[in-house]
Amino acid sequence: MYVAQAFVSLEISPEGTEGDYPVKYEELKLIKSTGTDAIVEVTAEVTPVSKVYLKRLIRQDSTGIWTVVGYDPAREN
């Protein structure tokens, strides 16, 4: 969840962030996790991202590091 939070925040502010992330942890929802793959839905109002796809590319166990492998853009209203 934290990797997704950092990724979405950098999509909003590519120059980086100071202090709190612009997307709150509570605005992220884990909708799928297999232990090696995960999908996180972004429920924040102001974001260019609707879903983040993550994968443990190296060490596919509890010591593995999650990596963003893709995302879906947010729908424009």
Boundaries of every domain in the chain? 2-73
pLDDT of residue 77: 52
pLDDT of residue 25: 94
- Cα–Cα distance, 59 to 12 (Å, whole number): 30
Cβ 3 vs Cβ 66: under 8 Å: yes
pLDDT of residue 62: 81
Sheet holding 28-33, edge to edge: 28-33, 37-42, 49-56, 66-73
pLDDT of residue 15: 87
Task: Give the chain's residues under pLDDT 70.
Answer: 76-77
